[in-house]
Amino acid sequence: MNSWLYILDEFKPLNVSYDEILHYLDKDPVKLLKLVLVAMDGELGDVENYRVYDVYRDPGEKELLIELLISCSIGEILAKIIASPNPQETLRKYYEREESRKHGVETVLSTRTDT
């Protein structure tokens, strides 16, 4: 499984599996922040605070995006941890869902069978 950090309009590879990311989300969210900090190699400076801002998950496609809001020396930034074979597509789906939310519409997946 491919995993990526999307931050400051760049994709950076992460060495962590989909299952590990899910585990961190459920049991140890501080490890999500540590993934970001290691990938950024000190570029964020001191972190004052962070929180899981949003989660997008499509279990059928085994796609996961976790958005963190991080307050640090360079300001407030959003970092996205993405586990997906196609991170650009997962990011697109996430933004599409966000746009639907702004307009009060939830995206619904359905299966239609014509008889």
The domain ranges of the chain are 3-102
Task: Locate the DSSP E strands across the chain.
Answer: 3-7, 10-14, 47-58, 63-72, 75-83
- Residue 65's DSSP bridge partners are 56, 82
Beta pairing partners, 66: 55, 81
Token duo for residue 11:
């994709």
Model pLDDT, residue 105: 53
Over its C-alpha atoms, the chain yields an Rg (Å, rounded) of 15
Q: Is the pTM of this model over 0.95?
A: no
Dist CA 48 CA 94 (whole Å): 27
Query: In this predicted structure, what is the pLDDT of residue 92?
Result: 94
pLDDT at res. 61 = 86
- pLDDT, tens digit only, all 115 positions of the chain: 589 999 999 999 999 999 999 999 999 999 999 999 999 999 999 999 999 999 999 888 889 999 999 999 999 999 999 999 999 999 999 999 888 877 765 544 434 444 4
- The residues that bridge with 6 in the sheet, in sequence order, are 11, 80
